[in-house]
Amino acid sequence: MKHTISVQVEDKPGALARISTMFARRGFNIDSLAVGPTERSGVSCITLRVDCEQHSLEQIEKQIHKLVNVLRVTELVPGEAVERELLLLKVAAAADKRADLIASAAALGGRTLDLGADAVVFELTGTPEELDSFQELARPHGIQELIRTGRIGMSRPSTRRTSRRLSAIN
């Protein structure tokens, strides 16, 4: 099962390395990872997507929490969080075949960034699922290059969060 974990860290040298080393050492695989600044100066947010059992997830949370630079670890529970990702996609498309693609990108809120003689570059921001579906749509045309940022997310103020901390672990 896939989980999204959001980690607030002090912006100190090695903070990211410590987290990724911990994953590697304990044999957990990272599907995606995105790092960036937050509303607090000196604090970065690392969003990790991992594929693991619930038991491993608890281990991961606890192990990350022990790292000295880590301020907070939360799981972004599906339905209780918004999650977004950015996709850049270079698709082979001769001039006469690109109208379709441009239209579907536009329908998903995407943008056409560059038009070459036989390829187009699209930008699309959305839920990871939306990105997946656009990717599938583009695939038959011939994907030349594809980059995704990895997801980022935050909890929804509109839903009450179910507690993700184990009650016994104070």
Partner 1 sequence: MSGTNRMTGADAVLRSLEAEGVDVMFGLPGGAILPLYDAIARGTTVRHVLARHEQGAGHMAEGYARASGRPGVALATSGPGATNLVTPIADAWMDSTPLVCITGQVRSTLIGTDAFQECDITGITMPIVKHSWLVQDVKEIPAIIKAAFHVATTGRSGPVLVDIPRDIQEAELDFSYPDEVDLPGWRPPSKVHPLQIREAARVVALAEKPVLYVGGGTLNGDACEELLQLAEVGRLPVITTLMAKGAFPESHELHFGWPGMHGPKWSNFAMNKCDVLVAIGARFDDRVTGKLAAFAPGATIVHLDIDPAEIGKLRVADVPVVGPLKMAIAELTREVERHRSEGVPAPEAWLQKIVDWREEFPLRYDKSDELKPQTVIEKLQELTARDDVIVTTGVGQHQMWAMQYIVSERPRTFITSGGLGTMGYGIPAAIGAKAARPEATVVCVDGDGCFQMTQQELATAVLENLPIVVVIVNNGYLGMVQQWQDMFFAERRSQVHLTRQVPDYAMLAQAYGALGITVESEDELGPALEEALASGRTAVVDCRVAQSEQCFPMIPAGAAAIDMIEYGESVEAM
Which residues of this protein are in contact with partner 1, per CB under 8 A? 9-10, 13-14, 17-18, 21-22, 25, 55, 58-59, 62-63, 65-71, 166, 168-170
- Separation between Cα atoms, residue 29 and residue 57, nearest integer Å: 11
Q: What is the DSSP letter of 130?
A: H
> CB of 167: closest distance to partner 1 in angstroms?
8
CB nearer to partner 1: pick between 22 and 77? 22
Contact 80, 33 (CB under 8 A): no
CB nearer to partner 1: pick between 56 and 112? 56
- Separation between Cα atoms, residue 166 and residue 59, nearest integer Å: 11
> CB of 41: closest distance to partner 1 in angstroms?
13
CB nearer to partner 1: pick between 58 and 123? 58
Name the token pair of 165: 């901390």
Q: What are phi and psi of 9, to 5 degrees?
A: -125, 150
> CB of 131: closest distance to partner 1 in angstroms?
32
Contact 73, 5 (CB under 8 A): yes
CB nearer to partner 1: pick between 13 and 79? 13
> CB of 26: closest distance to partner 1 in angstroms?
9
